[in-house]
């Protein structure tokens, strides 16, 4: 019996020992690998895998359609409907500092991704034809990111390799390259890759030869403009014109017939689109421009933040249907009935009192209890500050308040109309208003039902027309700020007040009165605001950086 007990105890001891042993061998069980991550080997295992990395770089293009305020709110085209948004609180009043200014410096994250992709793919054994194409795409994207930096900061450090703190030590801290070097880098890159890129992409959304040349032309146009070309070196204009001409000569692009629906998701990547940022509604990739920029209250419900209020200044730029500007006594413009017989683009772009949106008449008159009435109390988020709402590019289908992310419409970065207008501008500056200038402009105007320009305009008259045409045609497409800057007219146009349309009943008659918009005053310091300040965070971490003047 005792032996039996001992046996049981012995057995139990052995079980316990086995148990302990089994735990001790558990050390190996710490080998867990994450299931949502892949290694270098996987990355370069096939072209398909490597493509995924490039996809991520494409995805890094600025997400304009989910920004509460686009750059147009910085300009005289519009003011933001919210008092505390960056554009109204900081930019419009020029009170921004290196600590709080909007930053493009984060593009270096995307630049690193490009550099990494280029380095990995170049040294890989993947097929050469694939390599050539994808490397060109990555270089295009990198050039685009550098363009954003160059326009806003001037010269920036040009980094084309993958920085490594362990092997490079202090050389990861770089000085700024000069403005000229940065410009040259971008345009050289565009020139170098243009031949490697296809005219027509295998998949829509990828970089093309046209995109590379348009980017090059745009940078050259910027470089030729007064800001960077105070001596008005004509060869710079010639260069820009010829690059734009080469895009036109591709004979791939043409104007889409309808400017209004061109921006809708059904017409993504249409004949006019050269390069765009893609969206996918219903996912995290969907766009929300209607909910953010669209008119706030429609039919009683809030369907948008109303963050983009077009200015009276912009409205006044839309010519009459007969092609004459409203300032022309022959135009037939009636200030007490200002919204009749205007050009087509006005009705496509602006929501005004009496217009219809989502099936509702928009009432911006005072005293009717309408929550869209002009907000004179400067109450952020009330009605419109200017008496206007944004319509251009907004799809009524997606007029849902806030970040709905339902719209699949792409944000067009470059379209053919800009090429035509850019060509016309450069050519006019280089050699005056020749037939090709007229031709380019008239194409754009004809699409919107405007008659051809009268013949015999001189260079200055043509410049005025080109600039108005460009402002109207490309409004709310993130072009205006750059134009104000490069033409060096920001110090004039942005040292003034944005105006609003105030409609009130006097003696039983609705009277239209143009008033300064509440909080519509603007300040622009010519000695510093043509460039943004480098972010303080970047300055703090890299003592080799120099700040832009007067910040």
Partner 1 sequence: MKKFREYYEKTPFKFLSEKTIRVMKLTLLLSILTISQLWATETYSQMTKLTIKLEDVKISNALREIENQSEFFFLYSPKLIDVEKRVNIDAQNQSIKDILTDIFGKEVTFAVSDRQIILTPNDQSEVLSAYQQKRQITGTVTDKNGTPQIGVNVVVTGSTLGTTTDINGKYSIDVPQGSNSLTFSFIGMVPQEISIGTLSQINVTLAESAIGLEEVVVVGYGTQKKTSVTAAVSPLQGKEIASTPITNLSNSFGGRVSGVIVTQTSGDPGRDASNIYIRGISSTGSTQPLMIVDGIPRDFTKLDPNTIESLTVLKDAAAVAPYGVAGANGVILVTTKVGKTGAPSLTYNGYIGFQNPTVLPKFVNGYQYATLKNAAAQNEGVPLPYSDYALRKLKDGSDPDAFPDPNVWDLITRNAVLTTHNVELSGGTEAVKYFGSLGYQYQEALWPSTSNKKYNLAINIEAQATKTTKLSLNVNGRVEKAAYPSILPGRIWELLQYVNTKRGPLYFSNGLPGDKIPASIFGSGYDDVNTMALYSKFSIEQELPFIPGFKIKGTIAYDPTIVMDKLWRVPTHIYSIIDTSKHPYQYKDAIFDQTRSSLNQTFNQYNQLTYQASMYYANSFGKNDITVLALVEAKNNNNLSLAASRRNYNLDVDEINMGSSSQADMSTSGTSNASRQVGYLYRVTYNYSNKYLLETSGRYDGSYYFAPGSRFGFFPAFSFGWRISEEDFFKKIGWISNLKIRGSYGEVGALAGSPFQYLSTYDVYGPAYVLGGQAVQAINSRNENNPNITWERARKRDIGLEVTFLKRFSMEVDYFYEKRSNMLVIPDVIVPIEYGIGLSQVNAGIMKNQGFDLSFSYNYSISKDFEVSLGANFTHARNTLLKVFETPTTYDNPNRRITDRPLGTQFGFHALGFFQPTDFGADGTLNQGIAIQPWGVVKPGDLRYEDMNGDGKINNDDLTVIGNPETPQFIYGISPNIRYKGFSMDLLFQGAAKTDRYLDRHMVWPFYNAMNAYVDNFNYWTPENPDARYPRITSAPTVNNSQTSSWWMYNVSYLRLKSVTLAYTIPSRITEKIKIHDVRIYVSGQNVITWTDLINYDPEGSSAYGNLYPQQKVISVGLNVKF
The residue within the footprint of partner 1, chosen from 45, 47, 49, 488 (CB under 8 A), is: 49
Q: SS3 of 515, please? A: strand
The answer to whether residues 201 and 220 touch, using CB atoms and an 8 Å cutoff, is no
Q: Which is nearer to partner 1, 14 or 234 (CB)?
A: 14
The residue within the footprint of partner 1, chosen from 47, 302, 331, 547 (CB under 8 A), is: 302
Q: Say whether residue 111 binds partner 1 (CB under 8 A).
A: yes
Question: What does the alpha-carbon distance between residue 208 and residue 170 come to, in Å, rounded to a whole number?
Answer: 37
CB of 236 to partner 1, least distance (A): 28
What residues from 311 to 330 belong to the interface with partner 1 (CB under 8 A)?
none
CA 472 vs CA 146, 224, 337, 392, 468: distances in Å: 27, 22, 21, 11, 6
The residue within the footprint of partner 1, chosen from 370, 442, 461, 493 (CB under 8 A), is: 370
Q: Which is nearer to partner 1, 157 or 323 (CB)?
A: 157
What residues from 528 to 547 belong to the interface with partner 1 (CB under 8 A)?
535-542, 545
Please choose, out of 25-33, 63-71, 416-424, 463-471, the segment that lies near partner 1 by the rule CB under 8 A. Answer: 25-33
Q: Say whether residue 64 binds partner 1 (CB under 8 A).
A: no
What residues from 154 to 183 belong to the interface with partner 1 (CB under 8 A)?
157, 159, 163, 165, 172-174
Q: Say whether residue 20 binds partner 1 (CB under 8 A).
A: yes
Question: What does the alpha-carbon distance between residue 491 and residue 191 come to, in Å, rounded to a whole number?
Answer: 33
Q: Say whether residue 32 binds partner 1 (CB under 8 A).
A: yes
Three-point CA angle 356, 359, 365, nearest 5°: 40
Q: Say whether residue 382 binds partner 1 (CB under 8 A).
A: yes
518 bridge partner residues: none
CB of 141 to partner 1, least distance (A): 12
Neighbours of 323 (CB within 10 A): 16
Q: Which is nearer to partner 1, 174 or 344 (CB)?
A: 174
What residues from 76 to 95 belong to the interface with partner 1 (CB under 8 A)?
82-84, 89-90, 93, 95
CB of 424 to partner 1, least distance (A): 32
**In this structure, is the dihedral angle defined by the CA atoms of residues 356, 358, 359 and 364, taken in order, positive or negative?**
negative
Q: Say whether residue 3 binds partner 1 (CB under 8 A).
A: no
The residue within the footprint of partner 1, chosen from 1, 3, 4, 39 (CB under 8 A), is: 39
The residue within the footprint of partner 1, chosen from 282, 449, 452, 549 (CB under 8 A), is: 282
What residues from 247 to 276 belong to the interface with partner 1 (CB under 8 A)?
268-269
What residues from 417 to 476 belong to the interface with partner 1 (CB under 8 A)?
none
116, two tokens: 């990494």
| Count of residues engaged in binding partner 1, rule: CB under 8 A | 109
- H or E stretch including 90? none
22, two tokens: 């089994």
Cβ-based neighbours of 293, under 8 Å, separated by 6 or more: 69, 70, 304, 305, 306, 307, 308, 390, 394, 476
Question: What does the alpha-carbon distance between residue 86 and residue 101 come to, in Å, rounded to a whole number?
Answer: 8
11 bridge partner residues: none
Dihedral of the CA atoms 42, 43, 49, 51 (nearest 10)? 180
Neighbours of 294 (CB within 10 A): 28
Q: Say whether residue 52 binds partner 1 (CB under 8 A).
A: yes
What residues from 399 to 428 belong to the interface with partner 1 (CB under 8 A)?
400-402, 404, 408, 410
The residue within the footprint of partner 1, chosen from 116, 191, 250, 489 (CB under 8 A), is: 116
Which parts of 150-305 are beta strand (E)?
273-277, 297-298, 301-302
The residue within the footprint of partner 1, chosen from 363, 442, 488, 497 (CB under 8 A), is: 363
Q: Which is nearer to partner 1, 59 or 446 (CB)?
A: 59
Q: Say whether residue 518 binds partner 1 (CB under 8 A).
A: yes
Q: Say whether residue 7 binds partner 1 (CB under 8 A).
A: no
The residue within the footprint of partner 1, chosen from 27, 251, 456, 506 (CB under 8 A), is: 27
Q: SS3 of 136, please? A: helix
Q: Say whether residue 279 binds partner 1 (CB under 8 A).
A: yes
Q: Which is nearer to partner 1, 130 or 487 (CB)?
A: 130
Cα within 13 Å of Cα(175), Cβ side: 4
Name the DSSP letter for residue 277. E
């Amino acid at each position: 019996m005792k032996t039996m007990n001992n046996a049981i105890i012995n057995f139990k001891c052995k079980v316990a020992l086995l148990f302990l042993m089994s735990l001790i061998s558990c050390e190996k069980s710490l080998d867990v690998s994450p299931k949502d991550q892949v290694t270098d080997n996987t990355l370069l295992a096939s072209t398909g895998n490597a493509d995924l990395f490039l996809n991520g770089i494409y995805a890094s293009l600025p997400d304009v359609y989910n920004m509460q305020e686009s750059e147009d709110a910085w300009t005289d085209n519009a003011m933001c409907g919210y008092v505390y948004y960056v554009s109204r609180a900081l930019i419009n009043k020029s009170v921004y500092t290196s600590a709080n200014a909007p930053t493009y410096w984060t593009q270096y994250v995307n630049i690193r991704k490009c550099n990494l992709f280029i380095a990995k793919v170049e040294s890989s054994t993947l097929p050469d034809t694939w390599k050539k194409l994808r490397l060109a795409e990555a270089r295009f994207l990198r050039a685009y990111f550098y363009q954003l930096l160059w326009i806003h900061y001037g010269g920036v450090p040009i980094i084309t390799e993958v920085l490594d703190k362990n092997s490079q030590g202090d050389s990861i801290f770089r000085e700024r390259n000069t403005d000229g070097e940065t410009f040259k880098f971008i345009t050289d890159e565009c020139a170098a890759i243009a031949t490697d890129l296809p005219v027509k992409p295998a998949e829509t959304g990828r970089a093309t030869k046209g995109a590379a040349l348009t980017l090059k032309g745009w940078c050259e146009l910027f470089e030729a403009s007064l800001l960077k070309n105070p001596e008005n070196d004509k060869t710079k204009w010639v260069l820009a014109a010829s690059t734009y001409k080469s895009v036109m000569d591709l004979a791939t692009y043409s104007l889409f017939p309808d400017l209004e629906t061109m921006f809708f998701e059904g017409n993504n990547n249409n004949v006019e689109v050269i390069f765009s940022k893609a969206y996918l509604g219903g996912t995290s990739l969907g766009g929300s421009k209607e909910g953010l920029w669209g008119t706030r209250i429609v039919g009683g419900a809030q369907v948008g933040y109303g963050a983009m209020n077009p200015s009276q200044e912009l409205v006044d730029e839309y010519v009459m249907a007969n092609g004459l500007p409203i300032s022309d006594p022959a135009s037939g413009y009636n200030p007490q009935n200002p919204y009749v017989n205007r050009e087509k683009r006005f009705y496509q772009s602006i929501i005004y009192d009496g217009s219809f949106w989502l099936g509702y008449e928009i009432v911006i008159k005072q005293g009717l209890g309408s929550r869209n009435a002009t907000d004179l109390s400067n109450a952020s988020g009330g009605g419109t500050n200017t008496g206007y709402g944004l319509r251009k590019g907004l799809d009524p289908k997606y007029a849902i308040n806030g970040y709905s992310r339902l719209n699949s419409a792409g944000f067009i970065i470059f379209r053919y109309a800009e090429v035509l207008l850019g060509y016309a501008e450069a050519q006019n500056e280089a050699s005056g208003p020749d037939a090709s200038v007229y031709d380019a402009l008239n194409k754009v105007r004809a699409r919107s039902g405007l008659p051809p320009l009268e013949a015999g305009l001189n260079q200055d008259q043509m410049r005025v027309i080109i600039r108005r045409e460009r402002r109207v045609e490309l409004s709310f497409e993130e072009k205006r700020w750059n134009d104000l800057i490069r033409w060096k007219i920001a110090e004039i146009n942005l040292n003034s007040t944005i105006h609003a349309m105030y409609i009130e009943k006097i003696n039983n008659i609705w009277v239209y009165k143009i008033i300064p918009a509440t909080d519509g005053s603007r300040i622009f310091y010519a000695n510093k605001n043509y460039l943004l300040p480098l972010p303080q965070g970047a300055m703090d971490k890299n003592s080799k950086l120099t700040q832009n003047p007067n910040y």
